[in-house]
Structure 1
Amino acid sequence: MIAVPQRRTPPFVTLVLPMLIARPSLDHLFGLGRIKVGPISLTPGFLFNAAFVALASLVMLHAFLVDRRSQMALRTAATIWAPFLFAALVAAAHTPAPSEAMQALFNYLTFAAVSLLALYYAPYFGRQNLTFGVALSGVIPLATGLIQTALGDTNGRLEASFTHPNILAFYLMIYICFLYHAQISAYVRGGWQRNAIWVLLVIAGVELLLTGTRSAFGATALFLVVYSIFRRPLYLIPLLLVPPLAMLVPGVMARVMDAANGAPEMSYAYLVSVAHGDIDGSDFVEVDSGTWRRYLWQAAWPWIERKIGFGYGLASFTPTSNQFFELANKAGSGAHNVYVQTVFEGGLLLLFSFVYVLLALIIIPFFRITYPGERLFIMLIVICYGVVSASDNMLGYLVVNIMLVFVVCALMGTFQHTSRRTMVEHRRPQLLLGDIR
């Protein structure tokens, strides 16, 4: 008989899921105060992000010095994020907004750190605990949303525990898509636990509609329909009942009709004249968000062409927008389009590196994961993220990005470990059985 050494449990494994569970409930708490560090104003959320980065740094040291078998997680995380972090660093080196650029760069580093943590720790908590963690992360936000709705304290759009309805909406997009995939894939087998997750999914679906974020509606619907076609075609029947029922939710009909009908077409020059007060009797003109975004992007394009290679610097779009877009707020306007934002701030180098991250999150699991359900989920959720990135400031929504990269990389890490262990068992059964001659 030969004793086979057991794989050691890595340090800090009990911290990762609790941090993930807690993060979606803390947005308002993090916004209560700021910490001044020289010219930089930091929120308490920075400390939470710093904890992710510090933990990832300790994981790197542990992998290099103690558990070298886990270095695959480091290589995978570096493969995904190194080009984007390098391009962002180049853009930060010539930015006109250094403090904002450093905060953005640290946010991107946090996304990479969370990816590493998910890849490294996933084999130790498995798919079931991952599902429990994601499900529990939504309990307080969903409960907060129910309370706000019951009290009528939504101001037309629900934001729950977040600081903006769009953040809640895109968080719920990932929450719903992952838990739907987990239910169909039977990650959780307990009867009452599965039923509880279905209840959370229904509540999340209703609250998603109450956010009024149409791009999140569409992306979630796209995921559910396409995923069901390949995995559970019969589930399309209840899904077909969702659109007519959704129209009964207050505010949803108005948002859908606004999108369908559009707004009266007004030229950019006319809107600028209104903003300047040059037109009598035009104190207020309502412009739909799609038209406003289109004019913003058109105004930005000549500036983009001037510095198409390396852009104007990281985090430069908002403070610079007042110079080329006369409808911008006094503090400037965000790009509301990650592709426009990245090419403006970092040129083609930053744009291509962002697209590379999305492709890497799809392609790497495709070659390393053999389970079709995992592949389909990862491909669809990343595509949905890429689609909504064309109409919103997705890189600025920390919780959304943390949840996305965590679930994708955790599934990748869990399956890689399972496959590697299974392969060893098949190749060396005599060591596992102790049958040595």
Structure 2
Amino acid sequence: MVNSFYIFSPLLFYIVFLRSSLDPVLELTKVAGIGMGAVLNLLVVCFFVIVCFIKKFELPRSFFKVWSLFIVTGLISLVISPDKLGSARSFFAVLTYYSIFSLSFYFIKSREDFASIIKLVVYSAVIPFCFVFKEFALPAASYTKDGFRLFASFSHPNIFAFYLVLVISMCFYAMKSKVIMFEASFIKHAKLILFFGIICLLITKTRSAWAALLFVFIFYGLLSERRYLLYLFVLGAVAMFIPSIQERVVDIFSGVTADDLAYGEVLNSYAWRQIVWIASWDYIIAKPFFGHGYDTFSYYFLEFFPLEGSSKFDAHNAYVQIAFDMGFVGVIGFLTIFLSIIKEMLSYYKFDKPGTAILLGVILSYMLVCYSDNMFFYLSYNWYFWLVMGSFYYLSRLEASSLHRSLHAVNV
């Protein structure tokens, strides 16, 4: 099926479609931390700017309102930052998210166009899955301190895991949506990709991604089909008999905290993160409005957490990270993006309850996982996430506008 997305720019289509598979190649091109990945980011932003000029900035004001506070606060944080070059390089990734989100305005002209975006995301998993077979055949490179973990074509198992959550959710969306229609052949492919994706997700051993996918299914079950809650309970009970899964889940509830830590014991990852967050609080309060500069948490890390020695870390919490980097104004801007999209989703819920329930679950699970991970730093995954969110955001407005015109015509 030919649609405006493919016609508009084959180059952009291939860049986005292949982005999930490009990390190994892009890593080889890096010199002094900069490589072809930066060039791709620049291409996407430049493409957006050029399109805006060609189309005489036809973007609706709402697109600017959704992101404006966060973008403006980010630019202010660049001026404040003690590491302006590093902050600018990191913040440029955010500009690619905004570009991809906003470009959907020019691509989505019908439900069929939105269906094509879903297909793009689902089929983009095919090449990463080929990398998975290579990992099974040659497992040595995939062993970490937590044992064997899949990362496919991504630079870290966590990024692959969250990407899988999105792909699985879009497969499920294709199976359940009552408004966006998909071909029977694609539904068959989606079922296969969903099944294999769940297996891969389990082997990534990324607990927060497990929780994110569970949240999507639970949310769908509560709003649409309650029987899925029973399915999840049974499957969850069975999964707990798998030693590697059981070990990862039990570690969260190990009960080892800073207060009862005995000599020689190690904090579980969640307890360690909580201590880091608390340690950063005085720095956050010291500059509450615009923060210390975008992506400077690791820059200041050893000042407020000297116990770590010489290693620098990010917050592993998007809200703490943004509060530190961009102040509470940045946090408000960040939440504004999600609340604006959720508002549109709720307005579309009456059109497609099952499909919208899944998309609501996806965005709410993203916000949930932001509590324990730096979701905004996972560039390749975020491209797909914001493409879906932007496409649905404009589709919902397109449908609302169409309905309004129909009602007006009837009244006339």
TM-score, normalization by structure 1: 0.83
Give 1:420 shift.
Answer: 4.0
1:326 aligns with 2:314: no
Q: Which amino acid aligns with 1:111?
A: Y
> Are the counterparts in 2 of residues 210 and 249 from structure 1 also a CA contact under 8 Å?
no
Distance (Å, rounded) in 2 between the aligned partners of 1:163 and 1:135: 20
Q: CA deviation at 1:162?
A: 0.6
Whichever residue aligns with residue 169 of structure 2, its letter is: C
What is aligned with 1:122?
108
Measure the CA separation in 1 of the matches of 2:129 and 2:5. 33
Range with greater deviation from structure 2 (82-91 or 229-238): 229-238
Does the 8 A contact of 1:25 with 1:161 survive in 2? Answer: yes
The answer as to whether partners of 1:304 and 1:343 remain within 8 angstroms in 2 is yes
Structure-1 residue corresponding to 2:361: 380
Deviations 1:197-223 (A, max 9, x none): 111001111111111111111121011
Alpha carbons of structure 1 residues 360 and 416: separation in structure 2 relative to 1, 3 Å: closer
Contact 1:18/1:133 (<8 A) preserved: no
| d(CA) in 2 for partners of 1:8, 1:133 | 13
| Residue aligning to 1:163 | 155
Per the alignment, residue 125 of structure 2 pairs with 138
Q: Give the distance between the partners of 1:359 and 1:24, measured in 2 at CA.
A: 27
Which one is further off, 220-229 or 82-91?
220-229
Alignment of 1:29-68 (within 5 A): 29-35=25-31, 41-64=33-56
Kindly indicate whether the alpha-carbon contact (under 8 Å) linking 2:348 and 2:356 is maintained by their aligned counterparts in 1.
Answer: no
| Cα offset, 1:11, TM superposition | 6.5
Question: What secondary structure does 1:378 align onto?
Answer: helix
- Does residue 258 of structure 1 match 2:251? yes
For 1:22, the equivalent position in structure 2 comes to: 18
**Within the alignment, does 1:292 sit opposite 2:278 as a pair?**
no
Aligned residues, how many?
Answer: 400
Instruction: Rate the CA distance shift 1:185–1:16 in 2: closer, same or farther, 3 A.
Output: farther
Change (3 A) 1:363 1:401: same
Match of 1:80 in 2: 66
Hey, what's the Cα distance between the residues in 2 that align with 1:390 and 1:150? Answer: 35
Matching residue of 1:3: none
Root mean square deviation of aligned Cα: 2.8
1:197 aligns with 2:190: yes
Shift of 1:184: 0.4
Output the CA distance in 1 between the equivalents of 2:136 and 2:229.
29
| In 1, Cα distance between equivalents of 2:289 and 2:77 | 10
Please identify the structure whose Cα radius of gyration is greater.
Answer: 1
Residue 361 (1) aligns with residue 353 (2): no
Alignment of 1:263-274 (within 5 A): 263=256, 265-267=257-259
TM-score using structure 2 length: 0.88
1:134 shift after superposition: 1.1
Query: Structure 1 residues 301 and 428 mapped into 2: Cα distance closer, same or farther (>3 Å)?
Result: closer
1:89 to 61, 75, 96: 75
Question: Are the structure 2 counterparts of residues 355 and 412 from structure 1 closer, same or farther at C-alpha, using a change threshold of 3 Å?
Answer: closer
Decide whether aligned partners of structure 1 residues 424 and 302 sit closer, same or farther in structure 2, where only a CA change above 3 A counts. Answer: closer
Q: Greater CA deviation, 8-17 or 319-328? A: 8-17
Query: Quick one: distance in 1 between partners of 2:52 and 2:349?
Result: 24
CA offsets per residue over residues 41-79 of structure 1, 9 Å max, x none? 423211111121122112212321xxx7x533xx23211
Gaps of 5+ in 2: none
Moved more, 106-115 or 237-246: 237-246
- Alpha-carbon distance change, 425 to 295 in structure 1, aligned in 2, over 3 angstroms: closer
